[in-house]
Amino acid sequence: IEFSADFYGKELHILGYYLDPHHPHLKKKLKELIESRQTRNQEMLDQLAALGFPLTYESLYEDCDDSTIITRAHIANAMLKKGYITDRKEAFSNYIGDGKPAYVPKKHFTTKDCIDLIHKAGGLAVLAHPMLYGYDQKDVTNLIRGLNSEGLDGVECLYSTHSKEETNHLLQVCLNLDLFPTGGSDFHGNNKPLLDLGSGYGNLNIPFEILENMRKRRSPLC
């Protein structure tokens, strides 16, 4: 699972591994997030309609099933199909990106809330793609230290766009703080069509021992 979470005003992504998807507290909190996201999506559709770009909520589900969590990417796809824009990037840069006319902020749990929720469901909490938040190596180290104090278990060190220097730095931070390193392709289905599950951009390769190390650290609840 991947949460968008607030860390003192900064949006971060927290990954949950090996959690129990049927844990009642997790299901309750996820239901709250889904309902909040649905409300937000409708508010953005209302804003787009006021700007002269009407869309139905049903149109957002084209090319996906009813269980799909609808995001801004789906709104961008629907705008593209309607001919309102020439590419998906235009939707974000002109209409639904942060601070744009049809943008509506989404509800976030704090990073501490997400970490605690993942742990409660027996999982491991990991910071996703730490070099994508605009921090240099010094600041990202301080960020990881702060999350470590909240109970973070690991850091996604191996990622397609991380340089070798960045990866080595993150691996050293994990070693210093007794966090485990992970890696991932950032697969998001049709929203990232050039990515496959477990296969990132370039020559990303995740050693199997990383998975074995995670299994050793997992909670007895799993």
pLDDT in tens, 163-182: 899 999 999 999 999 999 99
CATH superfamily of 2-26+108-217: Metal-dependent hydrolases (3.20.20.140)
Alpha helices by DSSP H, listed for 69-207, are 72-82, 88-91, 111-120, 137-149, 164-177
Residue 13 bridge partners (DSSP): 4
Is 197 a residue whose pLDDT tops 80? no
pLDDT of residue 195: 56
Q: Give the residue among 91, 51, 87 at the shortest CA–CA distance from 75.
A: 91
The larger pLDDT score, comparing residue 213 to residue 105, is at 105
Q: Are strands 109-110 and 154-159 parallel, antiparallel or unpaired?
A: unpaired
Is 85 a residue whose pLDDT tops 90? yes
Mean pLDDT of the 78-99 span: 97
Mean pLDDT of the 47-55 span: 98
pLDDT of residue 161: 80
Residues in Cβ contact with 10 at an 8 Å cutoff, skipping those fewer than 6 apart:
133
The larger pLDDT score, comparing residue 109 to residue 217, is at 109
CB 169 within 8 A of CB 137: yes
Lowest mean pLDDT among 10-14, 73-77, 155-159, 214-218: 214-218
CB 146 within 8 A of CB 156: no
pLDDT of residue 94: 98
Is 198 a residue whose pLDDT tops 80? no
Sequence ranges of the domains in the chain: 2-26+108-217, 31-96
Is 189 a residue whose pLDDT tops 70? no
| pTM attached to this predicted model | 0.79
Q: Give the residue among 15, 1, 9 at the shortest CA–CA distance from 130.
A: 15
CATH code, 31-96: 1.10.150.650
CB 170 within 8 A of CB 181: yes
* CB count in 10 Å sphere of residue 157: 28
Tell me what percent of the residues of the chain surpass a pLDDT of 90.
73
Is 5 a residue whose pLDDT tops 80? yes
CB 146 within 8 A of CB 45: no
Residue 156's SS3 state is strand
pLDDT band at residue 222 under the 50/70/90 scheme: very low
Q: Rounded mean pLDDT of the chain?
A: 89
